[in-house]
Amino acid sequence: MDVRNGMGLRPLGTSAAEFEQDLLSNLYYRRGTTVESASTQDAYETLALTVRDRLAERRVRTAAAHYAANPRWVYYLSAEYLLGKQLEQNMLYSGTDRIARVAMKQLGLDPDEVEGLDIEPGLGNGGLGRLAACLLDAMATLDIPAVGYGIRYDLGIFKQAFKDGAQVEKPDDWTYQGNPWEFPAPDDQQTVFFYGHTERDENGRTQWIPGEIVLGEPSHMLVPGHGTDTVNIVRLWRARGSESSFDLSRFSAGQYAEAVDEAVHAENISKVLYPDDSTELGRELRLKQQYFLVSCSLRDIIRRFRLRNTDWAEFPKKTVIQLNDTHPTLAIPELMRLLVDEEGLGWDLAWALTKQTFAYTCHTLLPEALETWPVHMFERLLPRHLEIVYEINERFLAEVRDRFPGDVDRLRRMSIIQEEPERRVRMANLAVVGTQAVNGVAELHSQLLAETTLRDFADLWPTKFHNVTNGISPRRFIKLANPTLSSLITEGLGSDAWINDLDQLTGLERLTGDAAFREKWRAVKRANKVRLGLGDPDSLTDVMIKRFHEYKRQQLNLLHIITLYQRIKASPGRAYAPRTVLFAGKAAPAYHAAKHIIRLINAVAAVIDADPAVSPYLKVVFPPNYNVTLGSLIIPAADLSEQISLAGKEASGTGNMKLALNGALTIGTLDGANIEIRDRVGADNFFLFGLDTPAALELRHGGAYQPRAFYEQDEELRSALDAILDGKFLGVGREVAESLLGRDEYLTLADYRSYIDCQEQVEKAWADTEQWTTSSILNTARSGFFSADRTVRDYAAGIWHVSPVQVTR
Ligand code: GFP
């Protein structure tokens, strides 16, 4: 049996009867139980294994094809992955969704109940983590050899609940019942060093003598492509104490806590996503996580390289490592360390190889979001890396000095080390210096990066800067999330080829003239609202789903709600178009301003609910614990998509794409990918308001911005803010109003009037049902560009220079 060629595998059946047979054998032999005594959890795990086996078989063939081709690989390094539930995705991708359900019924199981036990791994925070998952999906679908690397956090992003309207955080023990989707590989374990000091050996090579050693144990999950046999993997690392970290003598002496102290300390590294960084220890833990991810992953990448290659000069030809934001930037000095200290390469060659290997994606424009680490902490934790960073910096600054002689200010700005007020390592500068390509995630973002945030670097290396507009997985965000709309589209287009070729959706444009099709389109949207079960399905469903952040401006939406409320109270006799405003999203646990906004939204919702004069027309709902699963229920039900960040602040947005693809019309500013969405769906099918980036910059930086002036001049705005200040909403939210009247960092009050007027346009447009439906169809029809497949093709052609490898039977 030649396993290497993927031969000798028993082909797994494609009929319901064969699936049923496999379910039974998995129940007996792998779950170790019987039909009579099986619990629903047993049934779920068995189902997952049976589905997984179909993909594992493809995985074996994929590995064989990749092994034979020895291609250039994409290694995607990301601190976050928001993968979403695995079961329904894997059933779809393995073509078992139908037969699995038949087989379960045959065995007397309720498929919905069994499938309901699948758990979403919450290994991410927001757009960045979901983007990583969408790109993995698209890479597999496009047959690009790729591995995603990340951390297997024991606890995912916290579970959000509300207590008296305020956010409370609960731990998310996502693997409490096990996780049938992962393959642990303890034999691929890596050793990670921390602390200690450096020494020179007799050959002049530097050695790092560590002060702490931790083990990284990997497990991988399968990342299947859709409509292809390729199955890639995402490999996640979990920290473990070494064998010697358990102190048997202490244990024997009854010192149980002390006996496991060291092991617990090690395991804390992969305990939680983004540990609280309000203490020095918490900050150090975050830096430790970053190095842990990087160290384990690079060793694994090198191990894989060595399976097929011997010559280091080949390394960048076979390897491209994409850094998803700055969190994995330590990979740059780490690769230098491995090449110079461990492999004995000269600095110049090692640096050339390193630079050619890496590429960096930036996801922000907020200067405060660009990570920096105190030099003293960096030095204590990673003494050798600091030496390497200094050396990189010295050589880099010499280059800058040559190009811009005498420009001391520029040197200060570009240095990887910030000197004032405290010495810190600037990770974004390191990421730009150590990579061959840097990209932003939407056109405006990439332009602003080169003109503002990273301007000095773009002056120095203009060709290094690229744009790759984000995209979303059409499989996850329409096919799986919105099965009824998907069926209607397939019916309208005559085939389902659009799922892997989203530009085909333009074929829907001609159907806008078909009244029966429009009717069906509306019926789907209505049914999706009924499925969601929040609010009146005939009301305008106005949706804002994203992380809570002041720049995203949930508070602006809230001011509109209060204004509507006050208008209805003031003129109760008028006919108002019923509207359901839906918020979902989490605030970072230590971000108090965002938490005040959450609390105020819940208070306003309660006051409106309790007011019979208003509640027939206006309802505010805020389901807790936004995640991929909840998003997938909300997105198909949305009529209106709120994308109302201050222009120049949102790098891209991807929720905006998901909502447009599902036929929601956007109300938005000229920010991030909104601009590209509007360009494509057409200005008539998009509600635009607010300051543009230059106007916002001028207002902010001119120093002349006075939010109070807007408050004084605008009666409705004043009355909305006064109502908050007067405690009309259960006495909460004064902090929100005070912050808006004080600094109003994100120019909410300046955009208020334009937003309110625009919402009136929305109401008028909503009254014309047929025209609204046409716009909705056009939003879907023209969103093909936002497929993550296009994004991955852009990366592959412009940055990675990789080609697909076909997996054959
Ligand atoms: C971040 C940015 C977004 C961008 C995503 C993916 O997401 O504008 O779309 O990364 O590139 F802010 P959040 O963490 O804000 O969700």
* Tokens at 90, concatenated: 């894997």
- Reference 782, options 700, 643, 678; nearest CA is 678
Q: What is the pLDDT of residues 744-796, one digit of tens each?
A: 999 999 999 999 999 999 999 999 999 999 999 999 999 999 999 999 999 99
Residue 444 pLDDT > 90: yes
Q: What is the pLDDT of residue 666?
A: 98
Residues 16-39 have a mean pLDDT of 94
> Does some domain include residue 647?
yes
Are 661 and 680 in contact by the 8 Å Cβ rule? The answer is no
**pLDDT confidence bin for 7, thresholds 50/70/90:** low
Residue keyed to tokens 């010499």: 398
Is 479 in the active site? no
Q: What is the pLDDT of residue 246?
A: 85
All residues at 6 or more sequence positions from 573 whose CB lies less than 8 Å from its CB, including other chains: none
Residue keyed to tokens 């930036």: 362
Work out how many domains the chain is built from and give that number.
Answer: 3
Q: Which atom of ligand 1 is nearest to the CA of 552?
A: 15
Residues 660 and 713 in one domain: yes
Residue 586's domain comprises 474-786
> Length of the chain, please?
809
Q: What is the ipTM of this complex?
A: 0.93
Q: What is the pLDDT of residue 486?
A: 98
Residues 428 and 535 in one domain: no
* Ligand 1 centre distance from Cα of residue 126 (Å): 7
> Does some domain include residue 808?
no
* Ligand 1 centre distance from Cα of residue 652 (Å): 6
Residues 559-585 have a mean pLDDT of 95
> Does some domain include residue 509?
yes
Cα distances from 514 to residues 492, 507, 508, 520, 774, in angstroms, run 10, 13, 10, 10, 10
Residue with CA nearest ligand 1 atom 7: 127
> Does some domain include residue 217?
yes
Q: Hey, how many other C-beta atoms are within 10 angstroms of the C-beta on 97?
A: 19
> Does some domain include residue 15?
yes
* From 226, 288, 552, 567, the catalytic residue: 552
The CATH number covering residue 435 comes to: 3.40.50.2000
Distance CA 790, CA 502 (A): 9
Is 547 in the active site? yes
Q: What are the residue ranges of helices labelled H in 26-174?
A: 40-69, 87-93, 97-106, 111-115, 127-141
High-pLDDT (> 70) share of the chain, %: 99
* Ligand 1 centre distance from Cα of residue 187 (Å): 35
Residues 47-58 have a mean pLDDT of 96
Ligand 1 pocket: which of 78, 81, 125, 128 to mutate (most atoms within 8 A of CB): 128
Ligand 1 pocket: which of 327, 654, 786 to mutate (most atoms within 8 A of CB): 654
Average per-residue pLDDT for the chain: 96
- Reference 563, options 609, 639, 613, 618; nearest CA is 618
Instruction: Map residue 277 onto helix, strand or coil.
Output: coil
Q: Which atom of ligand 1 is nearest to the CA of 441?
A: 11
* From 52, 567, 658, 790, the catalytic residue: 658
| Between 476 and 4, residue with greater pLDDT | 476
Residue 546 pLDDT > 60: yes
* Ligand 1 centre distance from Cα of residue 363 (Å): 6
> Does some domain include residue 807?
no
**pLDDT confidence bin for 277, thresholds 50/70/90:** confident
Q: What is the pLDDT of residues 54-86, one digit of tens each?
A: 999 999 999 999 999 999 999 999 999 999 999
Residue with CA nearest ligand 1 atom 15: 127
Residues 585 and 451 in one domain: no
Distance CA 576, CA 564 (A): 10
Are 132 and 76 in contact by the 8 Å Cβ rule? The answer is yes
Q: What is the pLDDT of residues 318-364, one digit of tens each?
A: 999 999 999 999 999 999 999 999 999 999 999 999 999 999 999 99
Residues 502 and 582 in one domain: yes
Distance CA 652, CA 468 (A): 10
Residues 605 and 693 in one domain: yes
Show the CA angle centred on residue 25, arms to residues 21 and 27, nearest 5°.
115
Residues 199 and 335 in one domain: yes
Residue 699 burial (10 A CB sphere; 0-12, 13-18, 19+): middle
Residue with CA nearest ligand 1 atom 9: 653
Are 309 and 318 in contact by the 8 Å Cβ rule? The answer is yes
Residues 271 and 317 in one domain: yes
* Ligand 1 centre distance from Cα of residue 356 (Å): 26
Q: What is the pLDDT of residues 357-379, one digit of tens each?
A: 999 999 999 888 899 999 999 99
Q: Which atom of ligand 1 is nearest to the CA of 655?
A: 9
Lowest mean pLDDT among 343-347, 572-576, 634-638, 655-659: 572-576
**pLDDT confidence bin for 14, thresholds 50/70/90:** confident
- Reference 521, options 495, 473, 486, 494; nearest CA is 486
> Does some domain include residue 89?
no
> Does some domain include residue 791?
no
Q: Which atom of ligand 1 is nearest to the CA of 653?
A: 9
Pocket of ligand 1 (CB under 6 A): 126-128, 131, 363-364, 441, 470, 547, 650-654, 672
Residues 709 and 756 in one domain: yes
* Ligand 1 centre distance from Cα of residue 362 (Å): 10
Q: Helix, strand, coil: what percent of the chain each, to 5?
A: 55, 15, 30
Residues 503 and 437 in one domain: no
* Ligand 1 centre distance from Cα of residue 24 (Å): 44
The one-letter amino acid at 181: W
Paired residues of 122 in beta bridges: 82
Ligand 1 pocket: which of 361, 439, 652 to mutate (most atoms within 8 A of CB): 652
Q: What is the pLDDT of residue 1?
A: 40
Instruction: Map residue 136 onto helix, strand or coil.
Output: helix
* From 546, 599, 619, 782, the catalytic residue: 546
* Ligand 1 centre distance from Cα of residue 6 (Å): 39
Residues 187 and 290 in one domain: yes
Q: What is the pLDDT of residue 2?
A: 47
All residues at 6 or more sequence positions from 109 whose CB lies less than 8 Å from its CB, including other chains: 43
Is 569 in the active site? no
Question: What phi, psi does 221 have (nearest 5°)?
Answer: -115, 155
Are 334 and 295 in contact by the 8 Å Cβ rule? The answer is yes
Distance CA 127, CA 399 (A): 36
Is 654 in the active site? yes
Residue 6 pLDDT > 70: no
Distance CA 489, CA 408 (A): 60
Burial 761-791 (b: 16+ CB within 10 A, else e): ebeebbeeeeebbbbbbbbbbbbbbbbbbbb
Residue with CA nearest ligand 1 atom 16: 127
* Ligand 1 centre distance from Cα of residue 427 (Å): 18
Q: Hey, how many other C-beta atoms are within 10 angstroms of the C-beta on 307?
A: 8
Distance CA 749, CA 44 (A): 51
Residues 584 and 511 in one domain: yes
Q: Hey, how many other C-beta atoms are within 10 angstroms of the C-beta on 237?
A: 28
Residue 175 pLDDT > 50: yes
All residues at 6 or more sequence positions from 161 whose CB lies less than 8 Å from its CB, including other chains: 167, 168, 169, 170, 624, 625
- Reference 23, options 38, 8, 11, 7; nearest CA is 38
Residues 191 and 158 in one domain: yes
Q: What is the pLDDT of residue 3?
A: 46
* From 141, 354, 654, 693, the catalytic residue: 654
Q: What is the pLDDT of residues 719-734, one digit of tens each?
A: 999 999 999 999 999 9
Q: What is the pLDDT of residue 263?
A: 87
Q: Which atom of ligand 1 is nearest to the CA of 651?
A: 8
* From 235, 318, 426, 547, the catalytic residue: 547
All residues at 6 or more sequence positions from 29 whose CB lies less than 8 Å from its CB, including other chains: none
